[in-house]
Amino acid sequence: MDIRPILSTLLRHKTAAGLIVLEIALSCAIICNALFLISQRIESVSRPSGIAEDELLVIRLSGIGPDENADARTREDKAALRAVPGVAGVTMVNQMPFSSSASNSGITLTPEQDRAALVAATYQGDEAMLRTLGIRLRSGRDFRPDEFMDATALEQVTDYSTLSSPTIVSAATAERLFPGENALGRTIYLGPVPLTIIGVAEALARPNDAGTGDMTHSLILPIRDNYASGASYMVRVTDPARRDEVLAAAVAALESVDASRLVLDQKTYTEVRDRFFRSDLDMIVLLGVVCIALLVVTALGIVGLASFWVQQRSKQIGIRRALGATRGQILRYFQTENFVLATLGIVIGMLLAFGINQMLMGRYELPRLPLAYLPVGAVALWLLGQLAVLGPARRAASVPPAVATRSV
């Protein structure tokens, strides 16, 4: 189809055509960046934790005043929890993936190294930690019973250079420290303390990124905490469908051991994760609504302009029909006209999308917008434009030549 008549018509209606081009350009720019931000948030909330999320419960207690028998009371608590029907395992950890607070340590490859090779979340757990949390080892072994130390005994140590410990690291940590090499048996340092890597976990997410932008670097130390230290009991259930029932029974079991303590927290781990990613999920919904709203407004603008032009050009359409133009030709004319406007808007929109992304990169440290999102936005707006103009174009094509030629 010859587009010169179309361009000539658009030049005679510069204001209306310009408004549609501007509307499409803004929609393209905003939608491309919004889709990119949505993909970033989806990637964030889809991060694996490395633990059996759907089977875990979290309970945290606090005593009133110091407890000199906290270690013994913790052992009683674990025994009581293991006796609860539906419980498959019990452990105590100082922190958990995707939670508000975190314990992190700088790891070096030599004791003399001034700058840490990486910052890793430092998990402390007992003999049942890996089994209860469902942490899978890619290579190596679990801790042996004689390798554990009580946190209370560790507090009495004055010279940390005399200590050493085995450790289990996440696969991401092993790869970062020893790229392309076998990390098993290698020694890393937590301050002056040498740690020998005995196992590599497939994954164990950090509680949070602690400002590092990383959620994968972590290690486990064989240190038994007690309930008075602020650590949490994590209970694995045999049936995820009974989590609420088992949680209530577990809290009752702990209260039967010592009713004077306060239950600071009791929830499923799924609730912990959902709380951590709530802002990301809210942002996904908000940006999705913005994209839909922009598409609707853009479609309505195209429909309104096309309908107005059909009404204004009914005599012209009738003359073309009288001269032998088919309905298909009239339909293609309006679709081509809209395609030209959409293309101009999309080209400008891509430039705006790049500019908006540069601004977001500078102010919010967001990554660069991948070029793949530009054609996605372009195709979406081209399809939207063709669908939006289809109704007015069909009405134009159905105008009888005799009626159209009599219109003023």
- Render pLDDT for 330-363 as a digit per residue (tens, 0 to 9): 778 778 887 888 888 888 888 888 888 888 777 7
Give the whole-angstrom CA distance, residue 58 versus residue 81: 12
What is the pLDDT at residue 364? 67
Contact (CB, 8 A) for 171 and 138: yes
What is the pLDDT at residue 373? 77
Rounded mean pLDDT of 207-228?
Answer: 89
Q: What's the longest Cα–Cα distance across the chain?
A: 103
Kindly tell me if the per-residue pLDDT of 256 is higher than 50.
Answer: yes
Kindly tell me if the per-residue pLDDT of 406 is higher than 60.
Answer: no
What is the pLDDT at residue 165? 94
What is the pLDDT at residue 408? 43
Give the whole-angstrom CA distance, residue 7 versus residue 1: 12
Three-state DSSP state, 368:
coil
What is the pLDDT at residue 22? 87
Give the whole-angstrom CA distance, residue 350 versus residue 212: 31
Range among 11-15, 110-114, 212-216, 243-247 rated most confident: 243-247
Kindly tell me if the per-residue pLDDT of 328 is higher than 90.
Answer: no
- Render pLDDT for 122-169 as a digit per residue (tens, 0 to 9): 999 999 999 999 999 999 999 999 999 999 888 887 777 788 999 999
Q: How confident is the model at residue 314 (pLDDT cuts 50, 70, 90)?
A: low
Cβ neighbour number for residue 368 with a 10 Å cutoff: 11
Kindly tell me if the per-residue pLDDT of 195 is higher than 80.
Answer: yes
What is the pLDDT at residue 311? 72
Rounded mean pLDDT of 224-237?
Answer: 94
- Render pLDDT for 354-403 as a digit per residue (tens, 0 to 9): 888 888 777 766 777 787 777 887 888 888 888 888 887 777 777 676 65
Give the whole-angstrom CA distance, residue 90 versus residue 84: 10
What DSSP designation does 114 have? S
What is the pLDDT at residue 407? 46
Rounded mean pLDDT of 250-255?
Answer: 96
Range among 245-249, 260-264, 399-403 rated most confident: 245-249
Burial of 23 (0-12, 13-18, 19+ CB in 10 A): buried
- Render pLDDT for 10-67 as a digit per residue (tens, 0 to 9): 666 677 778 888 888 888 888 888 888 898 899 889 999 999 999 999 999 987 767 7
> Who has greater pLDDT, 156 or 113?
113
> Is the Cα dihedral 267, 268, 269, 271 positive or negative?
negative
Nearest of 309, 220, 374, 273 to residue 44 by alpha carbon = 273
pTM exceeds cut of 0.85: no
Rounded mean pLDDT of 164-187?
Answer: 96
Percent of the chain at pLDDT exceeding 90: 50
Contact (CB, 8 A) for 136 and 220: no
What is the pLDDT at residue 109? 95
Q: Helix, strand, coil: what percent of the chain each, to 5?
A: 55, 15, 30
What average pLDDT does the structure give for the chain?
87
| Residue written as token pair 């430039």 | 351
Nearest of 141, 279, 121 to residue 209 by alpha carbon = 121
Residue-range domain boundaries for the chain:
4-46+279-406, 95-224
Least confident of 129-133, 186-190, 275-279, 345-349: 345-349
Buried b (16+ CB within 10 A) or exposed e, 378-402: bebbbebbbebbbebbebbbebebe
- Render pLDDT for 43-57 as a digit per residue (tens, 0 to 9): 889 999 999 999 999
